[in-house]
Structure 1
Amino acid sequence: MDIKKIDLNMANNYLSVANVNWIQVNNNNFALKGSLFLKENNNFYRLPNTIKTRDNLIALSKHSSGIYFDFKTNSTAISLKVDIASKAYMAHMAATGQNGFDLYFKNEGKWVFLATTKINLESYALTLIKDLKPILREYRLYFPLYNEVKDIYLGIDEKAKLEKVDPKQEKLVFYGTSITQGGCATRPGINYTSLLGRSLNLEAINLGFSGNCHLDDAILDILQKVKKMKYLILEPESNLTNEALKEKLPSFLKKLKTSLKETKIILISAFPQPLTLIKDDVKENYLKRKEFQKKLAETLEINFIDGFEILKDLDYEETVDGIHLTDLGFYNLYLYLNNYLRNL
């Protein structure tokens, strides 16, 4: 049975618009956002091309999580022509999250989701939306969470207007684990980092590195130099051993606190873990690690949030595998942090 023939809403979206004007997505044609190094790199990497650090961190930095750009057009259709590094490769995360591009538009001052790329190919051209009235609208396009974007073109009507949008916003920076990178959201725009960026009208910078939030000196150096950073949200615990947590976190936080005088720093402990309900040793360690971080944050006068408290009302239904969040988890994480930051 081919469900795409039975239910057309399940079908892939392929290119269906003739006479398309293709514009390459780069910093000359658009104001790329969501990464600190887009101008100097001339690619879609999240760390500098010249950085000297661990190979795994460099590999993950090529994933375009959090990158986006805004634009205005009166085109009746919006298409994409894309080259990415690979097809989707994780069984527990949707291809639209790993590889997808999300299109939003601004409606009465609020960002509204329109379409995502329902396709699992390394190279393709497709139409995201068509048959629109030729009215000038503002759009935002989010990049994939778990793949490298090699090249991308935006397609509009041949005679349509196109305007670069370059909002000058303060930054909301995230440094964390696979959760922060976006595992396992069904699409890029539903990651809590992007949700918060839209809600708070800030440029969200995603420095989530799946399995590799190890408090590296190279990342510390980057964070200490970020300009116009209103908030810095950290959630490193799940990627740190007990020894690393105790040996590296105090120094890391002290240096950030010293450097970032005008930035509000928030440390989040690990989210709910169902194994704590059936393994006493796991529960004991979970509670000890949380208490260590809480006391450390109090000593350094850094804001601390208990990750368990954020998602406890979901009764452990917020993950796909006991660890990585689904959209349910991401949206509830966003709701909690949105309220917290507005009252901080």
Structure 2
Amino acid sequence: MASSYYPKLESTFPPDEKLTAATENAIIFYDASNFEIIGQLPDTETYTRLPLGAQNKVRQEVWNLSQHSAGISIRFTSNSSTIKVRWELKYNNHLSNMTPIATKGLDLYAYRDNTWQFVGVARPVEGHQNEAIIIEGMPANAQEYLLNLPLYDGILSLEIGIDSGAYVDKPAQKIIDTAHPIVFYGTSITQGASASRPGLTYPAMIERQFNKEVINLGFSGNGRFEKAIAEYIMTAQPSLVILDCTPNSPADTIRKNLPETIDYITAVNDTVPIILVESIIRDYAFFKKDDQNVSGTMSFINEQNNALKAVYESKIKTRKNIFYIVSENLIGEDHEATTDGTHFNDLGHYRAYQRFREEIEKILRSL
């Protein structure tokens, strides 16, 4: 039983006045870092996305965003009838195009009938310290869980609360393969904007579909195909690398950075598949006055995609296992798949997931 291994936490969190004393006393909390953490590169600090040594090697903006817990999850098993969480945020961020649950809340999945099924969410309050019941009133049966962390905030501490007579422990079943993860390197969309909760991003859906660990290196506004990030990606010995930085990268940046990044990945492992992804045409580009020097216009985006395609066509001549996803129909053609003209809503993330799933299945068949 986990209670034999993990001591009850004496928390400094203020009491939740909405809960009765009887309910509060019936819940025992355990440090979530004692369980299985997935979605992190090697040698990272708890709930962060780049190793500590990267702080002086990557741009400051990238380092700051790496402190967000996007794509990081906790795997555990429990027979508790109630699952409750307490968590302390680093920043308590507020984003106008994101729900609070996606930005700084959590969501929970359980493994049932050979698939991951959504259970519920932990809604944040207006503060750094948060406490929420995700679900209560379940039968006291052992279940495997996947707890997804916030997309656009960092976690200082996280505790999982269960019934006093129940247990919580590391996964009893492996389910998600953590050897040779899939790594996404991209932009704010990759990081999760603007899904309504953490489990609805396309990297998270890929992880649950293939039961393969996914590392999310989406850096909002700062996905630039940089070799410095590729150096950290390759420490994970990935089975697949998806480079989805085009929306943040002007054509000149793509022409300069992408060949270096592909060459570095190839030098470390010349067989690992690489997927390059075009930028969608942003919804407002259909209405703006066209100017190839203005970011977000039709000509600017086409130049980005043309630069990406040129690098792909050059590298595919000498490097096997490079694949290419075009923007056409990536999130549909009905203009209903973004929140703000750029960032994918839940429909956009689901459609992108379907396209990535098709490509990954094709790659797996070809290997």
Amino acid at match of 2:352: L
Could you tell me the percent identity over the aligned residues? 28
Residue 9 of structure 1 corresponds to none
Contact 1:15 / 1:79 at 8 angstroms: preserved in 2?
A: no
How well do the aligned residues superpose, as a CA RMSD in angstroms? 1.9
Give the whole-Å Cα distance in 2 for the aligned partners of 1:200 and 1:78.
26
Q: 1:342 to 1:41 in 2, by over 3 A?
A: closer
Residue 62 of structure 2 corresponds to 57
Give the whole-Å Cα distance in 1 for the aligned partners of 2:214 and 2:17.
28
| TM-aligned CA deviation for residue 226 of structure 1 | 2.4
Residue 107 of structure 1 corresponds to 112
Cα deviation 1:230-282 (Å, max 9, x = unaligned) = 21111111111232122222222222233232311000010121243233333
Give the whole-Å Cα distance in 2 for the aligned partners of 1:60 and 1:124.
21
| TM-aligned CA deviation for residue 70 of structure 1 | 1.3
Q: 1:111 to 1:248 in 2, by over 3 A?
A: same
- TM-score normalised by structure 1 residue count: 0.90
**Does residue 24 of the first structure (1) align with residue 31 of the second (2)?**
yes
Amino acid at match of 1:335: Q
**Does residue 48 of the first structure (1) align with residue 51 of the second (2)?**
yes
- TM-score normalised by structure 2 residue count: 0.84
Residue 205 of structure 2 corresponds to 195
Return structure 1 stretches of 4+ with deviation > 4 angstroms.
12-16
Give the whole-Å Cα distance in 2 for the aligned partners of 1:156 and 1:268.
42
Contact 1:71 / 1:139 at 8 angstroms: preserved in 2?
A: yes
Mapping 1:311-330, distance limit 5 Å: 311-313=331-333, 315-330=334-349
- Selected match of 2:302 from 278, 287, 300: 287
Q: 1:160 to 1:250 in 2, by over 3 A?
A: same
Question: Which one is further off, 125-134 or 245-254?
Answer: 245-254
- Selected match of 1:180 from 190, 204, 209: 190
| TM-aligned CA deviation for residue 294 of structure 1 | 1.7
Query: What secondary structure, in the 3-state scheme, does the structure 2 residue paired with 1:127 have?
Result: strand
- Selected match of 1:69 from 58, 70, 74: 74
| TM-aligned CA deviation for residue 218 of structure 1 | 2.4
| TM-aligned CA deviation for residue 25 of structure 1 | 1.4
Q: 1:14 to 1:308 in 2, by over 3 A?
A: farther
Cα deviation 1:295-335 (Å, max 9, x = unaligned) = 3213212211112331233x221111111111110011001
Gaps of 5+ in 2: 1-15, 292-296, 317-321
| TM-aligned CA deviation for residue 15 of structure 1 | 5.1
Residue 212 of structure 1 corresponds to 222
| TM-aligned CA deviation for residue 14 of structure 1 | 6.2
Amino acid at match of 1:20: I
Query: What secondary structure, in the 3-state scheme, does the structure 2 residue paired with 1:71 have?
Result: strand
Mapping 1:252-331, distance limit 5 Å: 252-278=261-287, 279-281=289-291, 282-301=297-316, 302-313=322-333, 315-331=334-350
Question: Which one is further off, 286-295 or 76-85?
Answer: 286-295
Mapping 1:215-254, distance limit 5 Å: 215-227=225-237, 229-254=238-263
Contact 1:144 / 1:188 at 8 angstroms: preserved in 2?
A: yes
Give the whole-Å Cα distance in 2 for the aligned partners of 1:324 and 1:304.
21
May I ask how many residue pairs the two structures share in their alignment? 327
Contact 1:275 / 1:283 at 8 angstroms: preserved in 2?
A: no
Cα deviation 1:184-226 (Å, max 9, x = unaligned) = 1110000100000100111010000001112334212112332
Cα deviation 1:76-133 (Å, max 9, x = unaligned) = 1011111112334112210011011111001111001111112333212221111111
Give the whole-Å Cα distance in 2 for the aligned partners of 1:325 and 1:138.
29
Q: 1:131 to 1:113 in 2, by over 3 A?
A: same
Give the whole-Å Cα distance in 1 for the aligned partners of 2:348 and 2:18.
31
Query: What secondary structure, in the 3-state scheme, does the structure 1 residue paired with 2:328 have?
Result: helix
Contact 1:185 / 1:191 at 8 angstroms: preserved in 2?
A: yes
Contact 1:93 / 1:186 at 8 angstroms: preserved in 2?
A: yes
Amino acid at match of 1:254: D
Gaps of 5+ in 1: 1-11
Residue 38 of structure 2 corresponds to 33
